Amino acid sequence: MMTPESQLFAAVTLINLEGDLLDQGEFTAWLDLWQHDGLYVVPIDPNETDFKNTLNYACDDHHMREKRVHRLYSGESISTTPRARTLRTLSRFRLLEANDGLIVVRGAQSLWEHRKGHSRHYAADITWQLQREGDRLRIQQKVIRLVNSDDVLHSIGYIL
């Protein structure tokens, strides 16, 4: 039986790996962190919980995550050429739930994006729902609640 501390440590280990893969542009490896039926969500309304029935910046299932990664690798989208350099700082992890193989963690992310001589900063509260599959954790759901989500945002051509 894992203690709450060891479950949080396992979750933070996966969360940090995810951030590093995204910052290094290892998007195919990032896809492998996900459960097939997982959901990647960037809601517009910071209080929204019904993601499938509301407008979001992103509400990606497996197919849409693959398409997003394809666009990032292909250079087909103007918003991804050249690919942005990003740096995530992840912090303030709190274990919200841990039972039956499910671990829910909330944390903060500060993301710096630099592309074509311009830098942008995005801050967000993130909630990760992680599910144990055998001896590893996979992302079941990731909800990125941008602090300024209801402001006008410039193109976000990368993965938050």
pLDDT tens-place values along the chain, 160 residues long: 789 899 999 999 999 999 999 999 999 999 999 999 999 999 989 899 999 999 998 899 999 999 989 888 776 655 555 667 889 999 999 999 999 899 999 999 998 888 777 888 889 999 999 999 988 999 999 999 999 877 666 656 567 7
Task: For residue 32, give every residue at least 6 positions away whose Cβ sits within 8 Å of its Cβ, in sequence order, or none.
Answer: none
Per-residue pLDDT, 73: 79
Per-residue pLDDT, 72: 82
d(CA 42, CA 73): 21
Q: Are strands 85-99 and 118-133 parallel, antiparallel or unpaired?
A: unpaired
d(CA 106, CA 143): 9
Per-residue pLDDT, 78: 54
Question: Are the CB atoms for 42 and 146 separated by under 8 Å?
Answer: yes
Per-residue pLDDT, 49: 94
Evaluate if pTM is beyond 0.85: yes
Question: Are the CB atoms for 105 and 95 separated by under 8 Å?
Answer: yes
Per-residue pLDDT, 150: 72
